Structure 1
Amino acid sequence: MGQCVAVVGTGYWGRNHVRTWAALKQEHVIERLIVCDLDENRARELAEEFDCEWHTDALTLKDTFAITAASIATPTPMHAPLAIALMEQGVDVLVEKPLAMNEAEAQTTVETAKSLGRLLCVGHLFRYHVAIRKAAEMIANGEIGPVLHIESDRLSVREPRPDIGVIAALAIHDMDICRDLMGDIDPEEISAFSLPSEIEGIEDHAVIHMRFPSNTCDNPLGPSAQITVSWRSRVRGKVRELRIIGRDASLHIDYLDHTGLWIHKHPQNIRGPDWGGFGAAPRERVEIEGGEPSLTAELRAFANACNLHAQGTPFDSLNILAPGEIGVIGMRLVESALQATKE
């Protein structure tokens, strides 16, 4: 029997979960889909739009529909409590990032999953982006030489969220991806600056600098990274870009592009008198076949992991890119950056 999945919380991002799960249901990746929201009208309307069932009480989903898995996309304060409650009922869960409101709560959630033998994943969906996976492969293979620096921009204009600021909402992705590309090595230094929004305690613009240990990615001095995230900065619409500067070449990734990335190979005589200019080393396109939106890849992987887990496959053989432990580390990075803004 296939997976019966519930989406708990159908706000802006929860709706994307519903849409994506509905498409996967059409592919027979899952068997049944339930929309759950405290707002009955919203739940009913989404169920009608995406041809699925609806409910209003997350805590009775298991008894009512016999769900086997759930996406939790509620406001952040409810992430950990709902994840724990559903896991205690025998449900595998994927929790949107951040996993919890702080590192301690995230750690408790992970420990609960382990004690119950439940599958806990966290929504660090850019780990599933095909260009990120390709970049990680190219870095590991030495194709761009030692990594010197990473630049990341995640910019848009919107009203600030009432529960978390841009560091927990946006920069958590970029700090995690930098760490992922470094081979899951923790930074040894984090500094940050932020601008306050009109909501007390909520920042809507931040610049974060990270320094990784010496010899990370073959860089004797240790790679650095600068991350800019904003809800008040727009240059040309939504910006979601990553630039990885290596000794021998640089990579450019547009997160809105799921078909490839760009590589710019540095001229060997870039500092010499015979340098022919940037035209001497034009950037080249690296096409990636079979790419799909990161959320689709993430939910497809989660459904597959749930099926394998139900068949008795050990956790360490599931090849999950963003298990609960990544959510704990993500909160640790967020808390370090938030603390740095106060120093």
Structure 2
Amino acid sequence: MTNLKVAVIGCGSITKNRHLLEYDNNQQTEIVAVCDINEERAQEAAEKYEANAYTNYEQLLETEEIDAVSVCLPNYLHAPVSIAALNAGCHVLCEKPMATSREEADNMIKAAESNQKKLMIAHNQRFVASHVKAKELIEKGDVGKIYSFRTTFGHGGPDRWSADGKKSWFFNKGQAVMGAMGDLGVHKADLLRYLLNEEFVEVAGFVETNTKQNIDVDDNAVCILKTESGVVGTLAASWAYKTIEDNSTVIFGEHATLRLEDDPNYSLIAQYTNGDVVKYELGQIQSNDKGGQTNTQVINHFVECIIHDKEPLISGEEGKKSLEVILAAMESNTH
């Protein structure tokens, strides 16, 4: 089979550090076009990967013959651009959160179905080695009945790594709609749904803007979540962790406690009620700071699903369910 021809729409940090690198490293893809409203940014990416540069995504979709598109844009553009790409006959990998409302998510799912194309949401936490191993231990029954959890994703904020720094779209409600909850919280909602293998039925959130000046989106949130079987726990999403990134999850079960990305040396520690402790060195989680996994496996999985006609692990439906947890937390905060 000839290589998949791919285009990346949006040339910010996530594109530069993840999507383009990972497509370039994948033997079955060819980067043919890139697009960004910032012409200089588009040109720079195009030169590096010998692709065509565009500043208008509609023009790109009309002109180029492409098989797949990565949508790496501000949140409010995820749905319209993904739908346009699906309607143009492309498979779509969309950055998280997949959309800014349930209705937008539904429209994306419908567009994928009616065009018979793959829609995948880039929730990379499902591919992290420690998370995959933890799921395996839970499914094997090693942990027993799960009672509780806590999960956190916090760092100093996108101003440290976003292409536009303090002027980033992440801080603009019109473009981002959600702040730390959309940026980080949705990752953890998706991870918990994956690990626990059940849905959340009740969500309560304290969602604040108390860290950064002159922004109109949330930057610090703590949520309480309850699953259909009665597992309760907390989810924190924050841009207030100034010194060190925290991307940890702890699962408290009947026979064991699993500590994921909660130790500097071991990516997973299983502490059993009989006193046994098993420490796994599985390579660190990918991080915006230096170090961590160099390949998130997101692109590889997306490409494999297209080539072998498989349903992506994080389909549109899965992306929507994770988005709904975040929307529910934010809605609960307004009451």
Question: Would you say the 8 A contact 2:119–2:312 is kept in 1?
Answer: no
Shift of 1:105: 0.9
- Per-residue deviation at 1:194? 1.9
Match of 1:181 in 2: 195
User: Which residue in the other structure is 1:42 paired with?
Assistant: 41
What SS is found at the alignment partner of 1:208? strand
Alignment of 1:124-273 (within 5 A): 124-158=123-157, 159=159, 161-162=171-172, 163=176, 164-183=178-197, 185-197=198-210, 198-199=213-214, 201-214=216-229, 222-234=230-242, 236-254=243-261, 260-267=267-274
Give a deviation string over 1:107-160, Cα, whole Å, max 9, x none: 111011111111111111212222212111111111112111111111111246
Q: CA RMSD in A?
A: 2.4
**Residue 163 (structure 2) aligns with:** none
Match of 2:9 in 1: 8
Distance 1:266 1:64 in 2: 61
CA distance in 1, matches of 2:208, 2:296: 33
CA displacement, residues 154-202 of structure 1 (integer Å, 9 cap, x when unaligned)? 111124622221112211111121111121x211211111222545651
SS at match of 2:29: coil
Q: How does 1:26-175 map to 2 (within 5 A)?
A: 28-158=27-157, 159=159, 161-162=171-172, 163=176, 164-175=178-189
For residues 198-227 of structure 1, what are the alpha-carbon distances to aligned partners after superposition, in whole Å with 9 as ceiling and x for unaligned?
45651100001111123xxxxxxx221211
SS in 2 for 1:38: coil
Residue 332 (structure 1) aligned with residue 324 (structure 2): yes
Q: CA deviation at 1:101?
A: 1.3
**Number of aligned residue pairs:** 309
**Amino acid of the residue matched to residue 307 of structure 1?**
I
Provide the rounded CA distance (Å) in 2 between the counterparts of 1:256 and 1:325: 33
Give TM-score scaled by structure 2 length. 0.85
Give the C-alpha shift of residue 297 in structure 1.
Answer: 0.8
Match of 2:334 in 1: 342
Q: Distance in 2 between matches of 1:141 and 1:340?
A: 35
What secondary structure does 1:192 align onto? strand
For residues 264 and 51 of structure 2, the distance between their equivalents in structure 1, rounded to whole angstroms, comes to 30
**1:188, 1:76 → 2: CA distance?**
25
Q: Is the CA contact (8 Å cut-off) linking 1:128 and 1:321 kept in structure 2?
A: no
Q: Which stretches of structure 1, 4 residues or more, deviate above 6 A after TM superposition?
A: 255-259
Return the letter of the residue paired with 1:253: L
Instruction: Look up the match of 2:166.
Output: none
CA distance 1:223–1:295, change in 2 (3 Å): farther
Give the share of equivalent positions with the same residue, in percent: 25
Counterpart CA distance in 2 for 1:327 and 1:257 is 30
Distance 1:250 1:165, change over 3 A: same
Deviation track 1:228-261 (CA, whole Å, cap 9, x = no partner) reads 1110123x41111111111211111129999952
Counterparts of 2:171 and 2:184, CA distance in 1: 11
CA gap 1:330/1:199 in 2 versus in 1, 3 angstroms = farther
For the residues of structure 2 that align with 1:34 and 1:257, how far apart are their CA atoms?
A: 39
Asked which structure has the greater CA Rg, the reply is 1
Gaps of 5+ in 2: 160-169, 287-292
Find the residue that maps to 1:132 and give its secondary structure. Answer: helix
TM-score (norm 1): 0.83
